[in-house]
Amino acid sequence: MKTIIKGGRVIDPKNNLDQCLDVLIEEDRIKEIAPQIREQADQVIDASNKIVAPGLIDLHVHLREPGREDKETILSGTRAAAKGGFTTVLAMPNCEPAIDSPEKVRSLNQRIKKDARVNVLVSSAITLERAGQKITDLDSLQKEGVLAITDDGSSVEDSKIMLNAMQRAKELDLLVIAHCEDVFLSKKGVVNKGFTSTKLGLKGISRESEYSRVARDIELAEKSNARLHIAHVSCRESVEMVAKAKKRGLRVSAETAPHYFALDEEAAWSFDTNMKMNPPLRAKEDAESIRQALAEGVIDVIASDHAPHTINEKAIEFDRAAFGVIGLETELAVAITELVNKKILTLFDLIKKFTVNPASIIKIDKGALSPAAVADLVIFSPEKEWVVKKENLVSKSSNSCFLGKRIKGVVEYTFCQGQMVYARQD
């Protein structure tokens, strides 16, 4: 099986490519990238006026399987990923039960093998049942293919346990992903603490509940020399701490989610539960410093923190509603609309944050269109406009904070391991 993708603007930051080229895929590999490939192919795709990029990588996705298949499954979640242009996602371990043993990883990998439409990387919990008490069997977990460890959804409260886990992670060269939140400071909060919590009469989640934990985890990373990745950075102080850590030469990386640069706390003023996530939407100044951090490279990657929830958990009182929003299907377009079209990032630099950067953080040989590489790629129209509508989402859940928003950037085709896993239909 041969496919030629003709006449697209190929952007591949890893290989420093940005020009009109043809791409030849043979079986699951990229055979050739060159101007005007004249070879017989089974399939020719016209990519003129479109971007051809390495398949996008999302390091923060909740696929909910096993345990909450009512919210999302490996099948539905990876379909959403393919529609969003993602060919590799890192599944978070806060399933029910949590992914905290080699057996659970093995069983999860079997499900992935059966159902996944794109590459799913597996992470495991740092502590058993994510309870913050006992460190998981990292050595065996790694042997089952775990690349990163995280108690995402919670922070490891006990600093000594976190330090021990990081020291072990360093020995094994596992990535540690930190959900930074001091629950004693954020307790029962549901929106950004400040004018928003005051005006709405809701409990606030303070910025210090986030950045004080960012500070701790950076200190522990320095002590242990582990590779630390700060998840969902939402406020200015966290950005500053990551910037300082990088200057000191620590092995620290950071991600943010589209809602933290595209929206701010005012979106929650209508009590819309689709604007409820943790950390919460922060102030305008925070969104501004997130955008700046993306521009300056302080924040390395954009990840969705795709967190599906059923309508039953969202169509209730704001303080009782579940935290989190879905994001895989809107992520690229929101980033193009808010960052590229507003001249904060070039398209080239944006694609970096979705490809080569996450690949190097999680240490996988992906995120590039090198000859002979596995053919994971996306073809998209950056100028095409669309409106986010519930009925068009392929995720099992529809808790998007961008419903009704007009955004630019439409994925036309997604190829994963040489297979067309998504083609736009309409």
Measured distance CA(4)–CA(2) in Å, rounded: 7
Measured distance CA(203)–CA(183) in Å, rounded: 13
Do you know the residue count of the chain? 426
Candidate residues 320, 372, 404, 425; the one interacting with another protein per rule CB under 8 A: 320
Beta bridge partners of 420: 415
Contact call for residue 316 and another protein (CB under 8 A): yes
Contact yes or no for 81/396 (Cβ under 8 A): no
Contact call for residue 426 and another protein (CB under 8 A): no
Beta bridge partners of 56: 86
Please, what is the minimum distance in Å from the beta carbon of residue 273 to another protein?
8
Picking from 292, 302, 257, the residue whose alpha carbon sits closest to that of residue 402 is 257
Residues 254-293: x where in contact with another protein by CB under 8 A, - otherwise, as a string: ----------------xx----------------------
Neighbouring residues of 277: CB distance < 8 A, sequence distance ≥ 6: 259, 305, 307, 323, 324, 325, 401
Contact call for residue 318 and another protein (CB under 8 A): yes
Tokens of 238: 């966290």
Neighbouring residues of 217: CB distance < 8 A, sequence distance ≥ 6: 155, 162, 178, 180, 228, 230
Contact call for residue 389 and another protein (CB under 8 A): no
Candidate residues 157, 208, 240, 319; the one interacting with another protein per rule CB under 8 A: 319
**By C-beta, is 84 or 204 nearer to another protein?**
204
Question: How many residues touch another protein (CB under 8 A)?
Answer: 21
Binding piece for another protein, criterion CB under 8 A, among 149-157, 255-263, 313-321, 335-343: 313-321
Binding piece for another protein, criterion CB under 8 A, among 232-240, 318-326, 371-379, 410-418: 318-326
Binding piece for another protein, criterion CB under 8 A, among 65-73, 191-199, 332-340, 381-389: 191-199
**By C-beta, is 318 or 348 nearer to another protein?**
318
Measured distance CA(324)–CA(312) in Å, rounded: 14
**Cα 185 to Cα 78, 181, 205, 237, distances in angstroms:** 35, 8, 7, 16
**By C-beta, is 320 or 343 nearer to another protein?**
320
Candidate residues 16, 40, 317, 391; the one interacting with another protein per rule CB under 8 A: 317
42: how many CB neighbours lie within 10 A of its CB?
9
Which of 229-245 are b and which e, b meaning 16 or more Cβ less than 10 Å from the residue's Cβ?
A: bbbbbbbbbbbebbbeb
Residues 222-251 that bind another protein (CB under 8 A): none
Binding piece for another protein, criterion CB under 8 A, among 9-17, 298-306, 308-316, 354-362: 308-316
Residue 97 burial by CB count (10 A; 0-12/13-18/19+): exposed, middle or buried? middle
Candidate residues 34, 44, 311, 387; the one interacting with another protein per rule CB under 8 A: 311
Please, what is the minimum distance in Å from the beta carbon of residue 274 to another protein?
11
Contact call for residue 387 and another protein (CB under 8 A): no
**By C-beta, is 271 or 386 nearer to another protein?**
271
Please, what is the minimum distance in Å from the beta carbon of residue 262 to another protein?
23
Measured distance CA(203)–CA(417) in Å, rounded: 47
**89 membership: H or E segment, kind and range:** strand 86-91
Binding piece for another protein, criterion CB under 8 A, among 150-158, 291-299, 309-317, 353-361: 309-317
Measured distance CA(254)–CA(154) in Å, rounded: 17
Measured distance CA(404)–CA(375) in Å, rounded: 34
Please, what is the minimum distance in Å from the beta carbon of residue 199 to another protein?
7
**By C-beta, is 96 or 195 nearer to another protein?**
195
Candidate residues 1, 34, 44, 315; the one interacting with another protein per rule CB under 8 A: 315
Active site residue 139: no
Please, what is the minimum distance in Å from the beta carbon of residue 187 to another protein?
8
Please, what is the minimum distance in Å from the beta carbon of residue 208 to another protein?
12
Kindly name the residue from 158, 305, 349, 365 that is annotated as catalytic: 305
**By C-beta, is 215 or 403 nearer to another protein?**
403
Measured distance CA(353)–CA(18) in Å, rounded: 16
Residues 194-223 that bind another protein (CB under 8 A): 194-202, 204
Measured distance CA(141)–CA(349) in Å, rounded: 34
- Contacting positions for another protein (CB under 8 A): 193-202, 204, 270-271, 311-312, 315-320
Residues noted as catalytic: 305
